[in-house]
Homo-oligomer: A and B are copies of this chain.
Amino acid sequence: MAYTAPVRDMTFLLREVLDYPRYGNLPGFSDAPIDLVEQILEEGAKFTAGVLHPLNTVGDREGCRRHDDGSVTTPTGFKDAYRQMCEGGWTALGADPAYGGQGLPHVLNLAFNEMVSSANMAFGMYPGLSHGAYSAIHIGGSDEQKQTYLPRMVTGEWTGTMNLTEPHCGTDLGLLRTKAVPQADGSYRITGQKIWISAGEHDMADNIIHLVLARIEGAPAGVKGISLFIVPKFLVNPDGSLGARNSLQCAGLEHKMGIHGNATCVMAYDDATGYLVGEANKGLATMFVMMNEARLGVGIQGLAQSEIAYQNAAAFAKDRLQSRSITGAKRPDLPADPVIVHPDVRRMLMEARSFNEGARAFAFWTALWGDLLHKSPDEAVRQKAGDYMGLLTPVIKAYLTDRGFANVSNALQVFGGSGFTEHWPMSQFMRDCRITLIYEGTNGIQALDLVGRKLASNGGRAIFSFFAEVDEFIAAHETDADLKPFVEGLRTAKGRLQQATMWLMQNGMSNFDNAGASSHDYLHLFGLTACAYMWALMAQAAQAKVRAGDADPFYVNKIRTGEFFLARVLPDTAAHLEKVQTGAAPVMALAEVDF
């Protein structure tokens, strides 16, 4: 069980595919020229592989323990690893310099997050959720709230959580019941029960800043009456020191299939002191800005689990001797050939590999748009970036986790019976990865968000902008003989996505169920097309190196892996298009009672 962070692939993307240096004039980027980025990634690789990864199995086996007083102990080593993470400045990487952050580009933070999520996904959720809470306060909080909470969340001394779900409401937050009663001093008393609160209680930080959705007494019903509150575990004195223990506690830990190392808490708020973030009844808006960021992070978790599962499966396949190649012994010196000689084992490895590299490019490319959204001086660029972030976030969240999980399952399969035992790490990867399809909005919700909201927004501006960009690339490269299969694959995929989009525009409005019934396949068709575009960009960069005589096998392997994607993955676009176009009728034909 080992993990090697894909730094080579990451720097290839930044340096050669996405031309990171051209953004050197933007804030944050100017502080992190590409050479420094490489150094940071190398350091991140050492930290995640050396400190976090050895604790992955420990976390799975030990899990978290809740004590009678409501306190929670994390697995052996987590506390110390978290301390090292803070000391290394990793929690501050992408945070605002105004509050002690390093203000580095989002894309760099995302790269580091991939490493963390590969090395130890359950651990990564503590700083991950904390960053979400940081973002919510950063977006919606008052100056005083920011000054009070952000600096110590940036150093990692305090962590944060997001409290949305209640037993009767997960996706449908309009149903939530946790109530907030205004106090004379401007604060609120928060009472209610929240469930599935990741990192809700633990022993790694001095304070935990809970962000809690609640309904102020007398607020409208439904989503229009939801407000967001800061509810710290320990109240903070005016001088910044910790004050009284707030009346909230972890009432229980969830027993889960995976991510055992993360404390998934039932949180009980009993007249706890809370502070309104932003305006009353506007809590969801802030939460959703934060949530979009979190959704990208979950997509990265899907990729990250696929990456480490692939690495382990490839190592096992080169080591495990079993049967001879069907084309004749490849290692007659050994009692049997390593199983990597078998084409169906290769198929599973190549599916994972071609996904990992394409999905990583897709995520990096999108993250760069996220940086441009906040940092570009050009309004047109910022608008396009905003359009893209809206359009692509649900695709990244759902496509990367659906396919990531499928790859983890295939990687387990490479191990044969060993994969099913807990002696090897594959079971944990699969059990951990399974949550990524669910949390931060199930993948079905992502697909509905894509077809129901993001596609139609601003008259389809975002998707047409994406099509125009792809068309431009195709037009610019269609005579490049070296790129021909990539351009043709992209053209076919994009054509199918366009057909599906037209179908949705014509049929999804007249009957919303048509949109809902095709949303899953449409999202996958989108993910495949986006990855086909990424593969074309990567092949272009790699071909340039090969043509220039660069002998590094990295480049030829990159092209070959892309060719696998074209031949063996992209054909799924045809099936997805056909399914999109069936509409809702076959899906909705049965009466509820007949299920």
Give chain A's interface residues, CB within 8 Å of chain B: 165, 168-172, 174-175, 196, 254-258, 314, 317-318, 321-323, 326-327, 335-336, 338, 340-350, 353, 405, 409, 412-413, 416-417, 419-423, 427, 430-431, 434-435, 437-439, 442-444, 447-448, 452, 511-513, 515-517, 519-520, 553, 557, 560-561, 563-564, 566-568, 571-572, 574-575, 578-579, 582, 584, 586-592, 594-595
Q: Within 8 Å CB of A257, what residues of B?
A: 420-422, 427, 430-431
Interchain CB contact (< 8 A) of A589 among B322, B341, B427, B564: B564
A331: nearest residue on chain B (CB-CB)? B592
User: Which residues on B sit within 8 Å (CB–CB) of A516?
Assistant: 326, 342-344
Which one, B326, B346, B443, B572, contacts A575 given CB within 8 A? B572
Select A347's contact among B437, B439, B587, beta carbons within 8 Å: B587
- Chain B residues whose CB sits within 8 angstroms of the CB of A437 once the complex forms: 413
Q: How far is the CB of A293 from chain B (nearest CB, A)?
A: 20
Identify the closest chain B residue to A446 (Cβ). B344
CA distance in complex: A517, B351 (Å): 12
Q: In the complex the two chains form, is B171's CB within 8 Å of A326's CB?
A: no
- A430 touching B434 by the CB < 8 A rule? yes
A517 contacts across to B, CB distance below 8 A: 343-344, 346-347
In the complex, how many angstroms separate the beta carbon of A310 from the nearest chain B beta carbon?
9
**By the criterion CB–CB under 8 Å, are B322 and A513 in contact?**
no
CA distance A430 to B257 in the complex (A): 10
A589 to B568, Cβ gap below 8 A? no
- Please name all residues of chain B whose beta carbon is closer than 8 Å to the beta carbon of A591 when the two chains form the complex: 553
Bound complex: CA of A405 vs CA of B408, how far in Å? 13
Contact A417 B438 (CB under 8 A): yes
Docked-complex contact A564 and B578, CB < 8 angstroms: no
Contact pick for A563, options B336, B353, B434, B586, CB 8 Å? B586
- Closest Cβ of chain B to A393, distance in Å, is 18
Whether B586 lies near A578 (C-beta < 8 A) is: no
Residues of B within 8 A of A588 (CB): 343, 346
Q: A134 to nearest B CB, angstroms? A: 23
| Subset of 24 A-B contacts with CB under 8 Å | A256-B420, A257-B420, A257-B431, A318-B595, A326-B452, A326-B513, A340-B595, A342-B516, A343-B519, A343-B587, A344-B448, A344-B516, A347-B587, A349-B595, A413-B444, A420-B434, A560-B590, A564-B587, A567-B582, A567-B586, A568-B582, A568-B587, A574-B574, A574-B578
Evaluate whether A323 and B171 lie within 8 angstroms (CB atoms) in the complex, with A413-B443, A571-B579 already known: yes
Other-chain residue from B255, B317, B349, B557 in contact with A423 (beta carbon distance below 8 A):
B255
Please name 19 further chain A to chain B contacts, defined as beta carbons within 8 Å, in addition to the given A175-B335, A420-B438, sorted by A numbering: A170-B322, A172-B322, A172-B323, A174-B323, A258-B420, A341-B592, A342-B516, A343-B584, A344-B448, A346-B587, A350-B586, A353-B595, A412-B434, A420-B435, A553-B594, A561-B590, A564-B589, A568-B579, A568-B586
Of the candidates B327, B413, B443, B561, which one forms a contact with A512 in the assembled complex, judged by CB atoms under 8 Å apart?
A: B327
Is the Cβ of B557 less than 8 Å from the Cβ of A590?
yes
Given contacts A326-B448, A347-B517, A423-B255, contact A571 B575 (CB under 8 A): yes
Contact in complex: B595, A314 (CB < 8 Å): yes
List chain B residues, Cβ under 8 A from A566. 586
Q: Chain B residues with Cβ under 8 A from A344's Cβ? A: 444, 447-448, 516-517, 519-520
Contacts of A592 in B (CB 8 A): 318, 338, 340-341
Complex Cα distance A579/B571, Å?
7
* Alpha-carbon separation in the docked complex, A452 to B326 (Å): 9
Minimum C-beta distance from A523 to chain B (A): 10
Instruction: Tell me which of B165, B341, B442, B586 contacts A413 (CB under 8 A).
Output: B442
User: How far is it, in angstroms, between the C-alpha of A25 and the C-alpha of B357 when the chains are bound?
Assistant: 61
A584 to B256, CA, bound (A): 41
A579 contact set on B, CB distance < 8 A:
567-568, 571
Minimal beta-carbon separation of A561 from chain B (angstroms): 7
Once A350-B587, A513-B326, A557-B590 are accepted as A-B contacts, the answer to whether A255 and B422 lie under 8 Å apart by CB is: yes
* A336 and B416 contacting across the interface, CB-CB below 8 Å: no
Minimum CB distance partner of A338 in chain B: B592
B574 touches A571 (CB 8 A): yes
A350, B430: Cα distance in complex, Å? 25
